Chain A
């Protein structure tokens, strides 16, 4: 990595917080319109009822659950980069750790909206909280849906605290450079951090423990999400491979989203000296690894269906690749397992165009993976007379547009108002490299 002075790191990151131009506000405005479209569609659904969406017997779980799982998955690589790779001392994570953590926080927020949206009668949301309902009955924690509430809420709280704690030293740097109201705001946000060694002593210990706690949490959260399906008896869902399969898929999609976000960001903020090609290449290599795991899981599902000689299971998997949703299935296989293999070629994984393009392809593929898992199983289960089709309605598309807009809207606001690259971790990286020279 190119040698940067501490001052250069601060200047590069501080430059990202300069007052934005019209183009930025234009994009933010456009994304906000997308959020309004989603809010309108949700409002419409609340007014007319859950039937405004296309979910109906036998496909009672449609795009709302697909998007929920998709966004939870996106959230996962943030913790992989910020916590797991921190414990493994993978230095290439440092320049992108903050952006990935932020992605986690906003993706979990976006995911968290979907259970509310899917409820229909959203005012009944307190049924999911550990409080008694009007019949004095408490929620029953034998249901995987209740595990999910606990896991996702924990993940959101832990991610936010981890993200904020990691940002404290950087907020202090911005405070010291700011003036007027901005200085006051950052003074409050930085909690009076001064970089005293008494602060660092507790901070480094606390941060290490944060990483140690976030690591098992991230694995448990997507395992719990997978058990929403695996603990049901629906063919195609009722399988023990789901937890590792979902975790690998989540990291696969999250890493792709990291590339999707980082590549434009380094260009716009001229941060090529910080988010180097080596960093992007390392993400691409990890995508090859997760892509191979995901591909192996796809194959294993078919093998087990055949090996079990269970008629229903075999029929569901035959339907997946040749039935009414076959196109979705093949999009999933090609985008998630085959296209990422192109990263085996150094020329491709070190070329911005291919890195960005393939990251988008994997994102699309991972959305379709959730579509295939959810829709193809419930639309084609045990009783042939109950088989059915599913297509999302305009309301569902509107809500989906709203969710994507909300995620990018929050992310755009973040990168211009808070330090999107961790100055402290970049300095630590430079310091370690100097020490090793």
Chain B
């Protein structure tokens, strides 16, 4: 972004208005930089056109690894007791599935958490300059890029779309 640019955060009381605003802004050539909200919203996700998260692949990979790890741990430890008791085989494959199952869940969850952390880029301790704290609580915030000279024009459009534009959000965003 050039030094002549800034960002405005438009606050909406409900997600359907925020979604409508996102679509309108995009259609009229404005660039929506980010959207914040207190709850997930399907309407906003659709308006943003976001794709399905890839977290599931991490979960799947973790689960598959976990199953083999658990199963082979049980097999390996059984071979350390290389003594046949009551005619039962040293390697009892069926009960080992229980260990395999528990490890599947455990490592799938590890994969899930890892995927979430990596894809959402958490932890992220540096606060965003355009973030309005109400967006974590009760407002949906649409952050719009704009040229400083067009700030008033954008503000008017946003107000027309039913948004509140807090004063503090008009600062920052320069880079």
Contact = CB atoms under 8 A, between A and B. Distances in A.
Question: Do chains A and B stick together as partners?
Answer: yes
A161 B102 contact: no
Interface residues of B, number: 60
Interface string B102-143: 110110110011011001111111111001010111100000
A300 interface: no
A101 interface: no
B87 interface: no
A220 interface: yes
B137 A202 contact: no
A195 B44 CA distance: 13
Given A10-B138, A169-B136, A205-B55, A213 B109 contact: yes
Given A142-B92, A201-B53, A202-B55, A431 B15 contact: yes
A310 B9 CA distance: 76
Interface string B92-103: 100110110111
A200 interface: yes
B36 A197 contact: yes
A191 B77 contact: no
Contacts of A196: 34-36, 128
A309 to B, nearest CB: 27
A25 interface: no
Contacts of B123: 191-192
A253 interface: no
A194 B131 contact: yes
B108 A213 contact: yes
Which among A158, A172, A224, A428 has the greatest number of chain B C-beta atoms within 10 A?
Answer: A158
A185 B159 CA distance: 37
B74 to A, nearest CB: 4
B35 to A, nearest CB: 5
A296 interface: no
Given A161-B113, A210-B112, A220 B101 contact: yes
B95 A141 contact: yes
A192 B124 contact: yes
A282 interface: no
Nearest to B96: A141
B150 interface: no
Interface string B70-82: 1001101110110
A209 B112 contact: yes
Contacts of B133: 176
B137 A194 contact: no
A197 B48 contact: yes
Interface in B32-47: 34-41, 44-45
Given A141-B77, A165-B113, A209-B56, A216 B125 contact: no
A118 B82 CA distance: 29
Nearest to A132: B80
Given A198-B120, A224-B98, A216 B40 contact: no
A201 B54 CA distance: 10
Contacts of A147: 95, 98-99, 102
Interface in A128-150: 130, 132, 136-142, 146-147, 150
Nearest to A187: B125
B80 A141 contact: no
A204 B113 contact: no
Given A10-B138, A132-B80, A176-B136, A197 B53 contact: no
A199 B120 contact: yes
A81 to B, nearest CB: 18
Given A209-B112, A427-B39, A203 B120 contact: yes
A195 B38 contact: yes
Contacts of B15: 431
A220 B106 contact: no
Contact of A205 (B53, B70, B128, B136): B53
Given A10-B138, A157-B109, A427-B39, A206 B116 contact: yes
Given A206-B55, A206-B113, 5 more contacts: A194-B135, A196-B128, A200-B39, A201-B40, A202-B119
Interface of B: 14-15, 34-41, 44-45, 48, 50, 52-53, 55-56, 59, 63, 70, 73-74, 76-78, 80-81, 92, 95-96, 98-99, 101-103, 105-106, 108-109, 112-113, 115-116, 119-128, 131, 133, 135-138
25 contacts: A7-B137, A7-B138, A10-B138, A136-B80, A138-B77, A140-B78, A141-B73, A141-B95, A150-B99, A151-B98, A161-B109, A173-B38, A173-B136, A176-B136, A187-B125, A193-B122, A198-B50, A203-B40, A205-B56, A206-B59, A206-B113, A206-B116, A213-B105, A424-B38, A424-B39
Q: Which 5 A-B pairs have the closest CB atoms?
A: A6-B138, A192-B124, A205-B53, A138-B77, A141-B74
